[in-house]
Amino acid sequence: MANIVPIIEADDIATEVTRLGALISRDYAGKDLLLVSVLKGSVVFLADIMRAITIPYTIDFMAVSSYGNEKSSSGAVKINLDLKQSIEGRHVLIIEDIVDSGITLGYLMGLLAARHPASLEVCALLNKKTRNEIVIKPKYEGFDLPDAFVVGYGLDYAENYRGLPYIGDLRD
């Protein structure tokens, strides 16, 4: 059995998600907002933040891979699922679970920016700032994390542990 040490409890995640949802609701009021969720890690965060946002919006999904079953980025990003719609003229907010090297988001933002959205921003629940190789400043940011590999609340290690209600440090 893996050794997983909780570092962010479910209550604290809920408080933070409520705070982020309120900010987004304020900033995007009256705008055509599209939440783009990056599969699979961000689905739990998406489901919660959807219920914390009080203004109208639509959602869509993308899937990218960069990791395989390793704990650090391969550097290469592959698009496995693309958006079903045009984002031209729309206000796009990428919903991400975690920013590590920033390579995945950097790639995604370049790709989406080329499609001429009205705006393009990031909402990331977690950011391992000391590990950022590409500087991405999410407009909305939850917790700054130390250099640890975390699981739970959607995040996996080799597809496991996504259902944990808290975020834990995976130690082997």
Active site residues: 100
> Does the protein bind Mg ion through residue 102 (CB under 5 A)?
no
Query: Which residues in the 28-67 window bind Mg ion by CB under 5 A?
Result: 38, 41
Closest approach of ligand IMP to the CB of residue 150, in Å: 4
Between 43-52 and 10-27, two packed helices, what is the crossing angle to 10 degrees? 60
- Find the DSSP H helices in the chain: 10-27, 43-52, 103-113
- Amino acid at residue number 50: M
The site map against ligand IMP for 47-86 (x = CB under 6 A) is -------------------xx-----x-------------
Is 16 or 96 the residue whose CB approaches ligand IMP more closely? Answer: 96
Closest by alpha carbon to 61, among 32, 41, 78, 88? 41
Residue holding tokens 């933070």? Answer: 16
Residue holding tokens 């719609």? Answer: 85
Which one of 104, 108, 109, 122 is in contact with ligand IMP (CB under 6 A)? Answer: 104
Judged by the rule CB under 5 A, the positions of this chain that interact with Mg ion are 38, 41, 97
